[in-house]
Amino acid sequence: MTKPEKALIFELSQPGRVAYALPDCDVPEVEITELIPASYLRSVPAALPEVYEVDVIRHYTELSRRNFGIDNGFYPLGSCTMKYNPKINEDVARFSGFAKIHPYQPEETIQGALELLYTLQNDIAALTGMDQVTLQPAAGAHGEWTGLMMIRAYHESRGDSRTKVIVPDSSHGTNPASATVAGLETITIPSNARGHVDLDALRAVVGSDTAALMLTNPNTLGLFEEQIVEIARIVHEAGGLLYYDGANSNAIMGITRPGDMGFDVVHLNLHKTMSTPHGGGGPGAGPVGVKQLLIPFLPKPIVIQRQDGIFTFDHERPHSIGRVKAYYGNFGILVRAYTYIRTYGPEGLRHVSQLAVLNANYMMHRLAPYFHVPYPGVCKHEFVISGKQLKQYGVRTLDVAKRLLDFGYHPPTIYFPLNVEECIMIEPTETESKETLDAFIDTMIHIIKEAETTPELLLNAPYRTTVRRLDETQAARKPVLNCSCN
Amino acid sequence: MKHRYLPLTPKDQTEMMRTIGIDAMEQLFQDIPQEIRYQGNLPISEALDEISLLRHMRQLAGKNADFDQYSSFLGAGLYDHHIPVVINHIISRSEFYTAYTPYQPEISQGELQAIFEFQSFICELTGMAVANASMYDGATALAEAAALASGATKRKQIILSRTIHPEARQIVHSTARGLHLEVVEIEDLDGVTNLEQLATCVTNNCAAVLVQSPNFFGCIEDVKAIADIIHQHKGLCVVSTNPLSLGILERPGHLGADVVVGDAQPLGIAASLGGPTCGFFAVTEPYMRKMPGRIVGQTVDREGQRGFVLTLQAREQHIRREKATSNICSNQALLALSASVYLSTMGKQGLQDVARLNLQKAHYAAQRLTQHAAFSRPFLAPFFNEFVLKLPDRWDMSQLQKNLLESGYIGGYHLGRDYPELQNHMLIAVTERRTRTEIDQFAAVLGGMFP
Burial of residue B417 (CB within 10 Å: 0-12, 13-18, 19+) is middle
For the segment B261-278, the average pLDDT, to the nearest whole number, is 98
Co-location of A402 and A285 in the same domain: no
3-state helix, strand, coil in chain B (%, to 5): 45, 15, 40
Contact at CB, A99 and B62, closer than 8 angstroms: no
Backbone angles phi, psi at A189, to 5 degrees: -115, 145
For the segment A298-304, the average pLDDT, to the nearest whole number, is 95
- The reply to whether A430 falls in a domain is yes
What sign has the CA pseudo-torsion B390, B392, B397, B401? negative
Rg (CA), chain A: 25
CATH number at residue A105: 3.40.640.10
Q: Which residues of chain B form CATH 3.40.640.10?
A: 85-341
Asked if B256 contacts B228 with a C-beta cutoff of 8 angstroms, the reply is yes
Q: Which residues contact A424 (CB under 8 A, 6 or more apart)?
A: A78, A371, A384, A385, A386, A387, A397, A400, A401, A412, A413, A414
Contact at CB, A100 and B124, closer than 8 angstroms: no
Provide the chain A residues 380-399 that lie in CB contact (below 8 A) with chain B.
none
Which among A315, A343, A371 is the end of a domain? A343
For the segment B248-277, the average pLDDT, to the nearest whole number, is 98
- The reply to whether A79 falls in a domain is no
Least confident stretch, A99-108, B199-208, B322-331:
B322-331
Convert the pLDDT of each residue in A114-171 to its tens digit.
999 999 999 999 999 999 999 999 999 999 999 999 999 999 999 999 999 999 988 8
- The reply to whether A71 falls in a domain is no
Residues of B whose CB is below 8 A from A324: 171, 174
CA B381 to chain centre: 24
Report DSSP state, residue A169. Answer: T
Contact at CB, A282 and B33, closer than 8 angstroms: no
- Structural domain span for residue A448: 353-472
Convert the pLDDT of each residue in A32-77 to its tens digit.
999 999 999 999 999 999 999 999 999 999 999 999 999 999 999 9
Provide the chain B residues 375-404 that lie in CB contact (below 8 A) with chain A.
382, 384, 398, 401-402
Asked if A302 contacts A121 with a C-beta cutoff of 8 angstroms, the reply is yes
Report DSSP state, residue B383. Answer: B
Asked if B182 contacts B176 with a C-beta cutoff of 8 angstroms, the reply is yes
pLDDT at residue A172 in the model: 86
pLDDT at residue A1 in the model: 66
Co-location of A252 and A214 in the same domain: yes
Co-location of A272 and A382 in the same domain: no
Q: Does A42 touch chain B (CB under 8 A)?
A: yes
Co-location of A361 and A339 in the same domain: no
From the list B274, B303, B348, which residue is nearest A331 (CB)? B274
Number of Cβ within a 10 Å radius of residue A384: 28
Interface size A-B, in CB pairs within 8 Å, comes to 705
B183 three-state secondary structure: strand
Q: From the CA of A449, how many Å to the nearest CA of chain B?
A: 22
- The reply to whether A1 falls in a domain is no
Q: Does B137 touch chain A (CB under 8 A)?
A: yes
For the segment B16-27, the average pLDDT, to the nearest whole number, is 97
Contact at CB, A173 and B320, closer than 8 angstroms: yes
Provide the chain B residues 321-380 that lie in CB contact (below 8 A) with chain A.
321-324, 326-335, 337, 340-341, 343-354, 356-357, 359-361, 363-364
Asked if A247 contacts A266 with a C-beta cutoff of 8 angstroms, the reply is no
Q: Does A466 touch chain B (CB under 8 A)?
A: yes
Q: Which CATH superfamily is domain B71-82+347-448 in?
A: Aspartate Aminotransferase, domain 1 (3.90.1150.10)
Co-location of A276 and A377 in the same domain: no
Asked if A66 contacts B93 with a C-beta cutoff of 8 angstroms, the reply is no
Report DSSP state, residue A212. Answer: E
From the list B45, B171, B263, which residue is nearest A341 (CB)? B45
Backbone angles phi, psi at A386, to 5 degrees: -120, 140
For the segment B311-337, the average pLDDT, to the nearest whole number, is 85
From the list A179, A254, A366, which residue is nearest B322 (CB)? A179
For the segment A24-29, the average pLDDT, to the nearest whole number, is 98
CA distance linking residue B397 with residue A181, whole number of Å: 39
Q: Does B33 touch chain A (CB under 8 A)?
A: yes
Q: Does A65 touch chain B (CB under 8 A)?
A: yes
Q: Which residues contact B336 (CB under 8 A, 6 or more apart)?
A: B114, B115, B118, B133, B134, B264, B278, B280
Provide the chain A residues 262-291 that lie in CB contact (below 8 A) with chain B.
277-285
Does residue B214 or residue A4 have the better pLDDT? B214
pLDDT at residue B315 in the model: 79
Residue B143 pLDDT more than 60? yes
Cα of first residue to Cα of last residue in chain A, in angstroms, is 34
Q: Does A462 touch chain B (CB under 8 A)?
A: yes
Co-location of A106 and A255 in the same domain: yes
For residue A301, say if its preceding peptide bond is cis, omega within 30 degrees of 0.
yes
Q: From the CA of A482, how many Å to the nearest CA of chain B?
A: 5
Least confident stretch, A437-451, B36-50, B387-401:
B387-401
What ipTM score was computed for the predicted complex, to two decimals?
0.97
From the list A51, A149, A181, which residue is nearest B326 (CB)? A181
Pairing mode, strands B259-263 and B236-241: parallel
Co-location of A194 and A217 in the same domain: yes
Residue B232 one-letter amino acid? Q
Q: What residue of A is the nearest CA neighbor of B325?
A: A177
For the segment A236-265, the average pLDDT, to the nearest whole number, is 98
Asked if A378 contacts B28 with a C-beta cutoff of 8 angstroms, the reply is yes
Q: Which residues contact B189 (CB under 8 A, 6 or more apart)?
A: B195, B196, B197
Which among A66, A97, A113 is the end of a domain? A66
Co-location of A202 and A115 in the same domain: yes
Convert the pLDDT of each residue in A258-268 to its tens digit.
999 999 999 99
- The reply to whether A2 falls in a domain is no
Interface-testing mutation among B321, B342, B402, B431, with chain A (most A C-beta atoms within 10 A): B321
From the list B100, B105, B137, which residue is nearest A325 (CB)? B137
Q: Which residues of chain B form CATH 3.90.1150.10?
A: 71-82+347-448
CA distance linking residue B134 with residue B144, whole number of Å: 12
Residue B396 pLDDT more than 90? no
Q: What residue of A is the nearest CA neighbor of B250?
A: A42
CA distance linking residue A477 with residue A459, whole number of Å: 23
Contact at CB, A254 and B38, closer than 8 angstroms: yes
Residue ranges in B83-194 assigned as alpha helix (H) = 85-91, 94-97, 109-126, 138-153, 166-179
Rg (CA), chain B: 25
Q: From the CA of B202, how many Å to the nearest CA of chain A?
A: 24
Contact at CB, B45 and A345, closer than 8 angstroms: yes
Q: Which residues contact B197 (CB under 8 A, 6 or more apart)?
A: B186, B187, B189
- The reply to whether A248 falls in a domain is yes
- The reply to whether A139 falls in a domain is yes
Cα of first residue to Cα of last residue in chain B, in angstroms, is 66
CA B341 to chain centre: 17
Co-location of A312 and A251 in the same domain: yes
Count, in order, helices (H) and strands (E) of chain B.
13, 16
CA distance linking residue B7 with residue B16, whole number of Å: 13
Report DSSP state, residue A158. Answer: T
Contact at CB, A465 and B88, closer than 8 angstroms: no
CA distance linking residue A96 with residue A114, whole number of Å: 15
CATH number at residue A428: 3.90.1150.10
pLDDT at residue A345 in the model: 98
Q: Does A58 touch chain B (CB under 8 A)?
A: no
Contact at CB, B38 and A257, closer than 8 angstroms: yes
Contact at CB, A430 and B6, closer than 8 angstroms: yes
Residue A486 pLDDT more than 60? no
> Which among A47, A90, A11, A73 is positioned nearest to A335, based on CA atoms?
A90
Q: From the CA of B196, how many Å to the nearest CA of chain A?
A: 20
For the segment B126-137, the average pLDDT, to the nearest whole number, is 97
Backbone angles phi, psi at B406, to 5 degrees: -60, -30
Right CATH for B85-341 from 2.60.40.1580, 3.30.750.210, 3.40.50.150, 3.40.640.10: 3.40.640.10
- The H-or-E segment that residue B281 falls in is strand B279-283
Least confident stretch, A170-179, B9-18, B383-392:
A170-179
Q: How many domains does chain A have?
A: 3
Interface-testing mutation among A52, A104, A186, A456, with chain B (most B C-beta atoms within 10 A): A104
Co-location of A286 and A427 in the same domain: no
For the segment B399-428, the average pLDDT, to the nearest whole number, is 95
Co-location of A261 and A388 in the same domain: no
Co-location of A61 and A122 in the same domain: no
> Which among A457, A368, A465 is positioned nearest to A410, based on CA atoms?
A465
Which among A279, A314, A343 is the end of a domain? A343
Mean pLDDT of chain B: 96
Residue A345 one-letter amino acid? G
Q: What residue of A is the nearest CA neighbor of B269?
A: A99
Q: From the CA of A127, how many Å to the nearest CA of chain B?
A: 7
- The reply to whether A83 falls in a domain is no
Residues of B whose CB is below 8 A from A179: 322
